Amino acid sequence: MKIAAAVTQAKSAPFELCELELGDLRDDEVLVEVAASGICHTDLICRDQWYPVPLPAVLGHEGAGIVEAVGRSVTKVSPGERVGMTFNSCGRCPTCQIGKPSYCHQFFECNFASTRPEDESSVFGDVHAHFFGQSSFATHAVANERNVVKLSEAIPLEIAAPFGCGIQTGAGAVLNSLDAQAGSTLAVFGAGTVGCSAVLGGVIAGCTTIIAVDVNPARLEVALELGATHAIDAREADPVEQIGAIADGGATYSLETTGVPQVLRRCVDCLAPMGVAGVIGAPAFGTEVSFDVNTILTGGRVVRGIVEGDSVPDVFLPSLVELWRQGRFPVERLMKFYDFDQIETAAHDSESGAVIKAVVRMS
């Protein structure tokens, strides 16, 4: 079967539309006709080899579409059903077994190796596929039964697509990972897709003070529109001092979504005693950061990594869709839509900050 895909040929190379031959489905796989795919920061840093993803490859990991065919053992979905695609996991390791698939012991093999974990093969032959179990920068994607989620008719596929990574990561960080309590203070460093989704999560959780920090005034305006109570332009003021003044001693929770080590230091330093900082932003492999040990020790502060918002996608994504249907989770306000042949423009706009969430429509 011939399909069209955006192939990343080499480090930092442009997304090139190519015709590829799609191989046969395996028993546990699902063929999805992709309607739309979000462009995520992770796609771009893997293109640029911050993470060692093998190239050439078809990237993309925020896809949604219609099931076209299923393998013989698949029972979760059927042809014709609407699905979102999310991260993949092994389903067998200790963390998967306790309902924490985003911390799967084989997370890298299942998501970044861009091959089938069991035998390192690709459905595209010499071009790597199976990025995050989907490679959704294509008209058709081969997913695993574990990483497809049924979608209700209530939400357009082009809006649902980014729920599979950036949106569930930000909202889940607040609602699942931090389990933010009503009346608490939340500081969000970075007002991109993840950060703005975290702001919405804070509103849903009942945080009374939600502080957005960024260097892009337009993004801070969006964060305020979505429910942030305060916005700090880090070019003009020290966020740690400002948060301490706003929150009377510091934030209950903070999130670092930028991947910049200096920002992570501020994210920790702004915490009140017993506060928790969540680390989401992904820098290049080998990046290190330093803290004052006594800041963490004497205040009982916690620093923890967060992957995919601790989501169990079959449970969490439908709940976010329902919140969207009710008008309480208006993430479409973050999105700008592009045709598939504009994917390089969409990627550039994402990197430059011209858009918060670029979404490519395959049709």
Q: What is the pTM of this model?
A: 0.96
What is the reported pLDDT for 248? Answer: 86
What is the reported pLDDT for 238? Answer: 97
Residue 132 falls in which region: left (phi positive, over 0), alpha (psi -120 to 50) or beta: left
- Candidates 357, 359, 321; CA nearest to 340 is 359
Look at residue 209 and give its three-state secondary structure: strand
Q: pLDDT tens-digit profile of 234-267?
A: 999 999 999 999 998 999 999 999 999 999 999 9
Q: Report how far Cα 307 is from the mean position of its chain's Cα atoms.
A: 9
Query: pLDDT (tens digit, 0 to 9) for every residue of the chain, 363 residues total?
Result: 999 999 999 999 999 999 999 999 999 999 999 999 999 999 999 999 999 999 999 999 999 999 999 999 999 999 999 999 999 999 999 999 999 999 999 999 999 999 999 899 999 999 999 999 999 999 999 999 999 999 999 999 999 999 999 999 999 999 999 999 999 999 999 999 999 999 999 999 999 999 999 999 999 999 999 999 999 999 999 999 999 999 989 999 999 999 999 999 999 999 999 999 999 999 999 999 999 999 999 999 999 999 999 999 999 999 999 999 999 999 999 999 999 999 999 999 999 999 999 999 998
What is the reported pLDDT for 184? Answer: 98
Residue with tokens 């040990």: 293
What is the reported pLDDT for 143? Answer: 98
Burial of 330 (0-12, 13-18, 19+ CB in 10 A): middle
Question: What are the structural domains of the chain?
Answer: 2-164+330-361 (3.90.180.10), 167-307 (3.40.50.720)
* Distant-in-sequence, close-in-space partners of 272: CB < 8 Å, separation ≥ 6: 185, 247, 249, 250, 251, 252, 299
Strand partners, 187: 211, 254
Look at residue 230 and give its three-state secondary structure: strand
Q: Using CA atoms, how far apart are residues 98 and 92, in angstroms rounded to an integer?
A: 10
* Distant-in-sequence, close-in-space partners of 311: CB < 8 Å, separation ≥ 6: 86, 102, 168, 169, 172, 176, 317
Q: Contact, 333 vs 313, CB < 8 A?
A: no
- Candidates 218, 219, 221, 212; CA nearest to 189 is 212
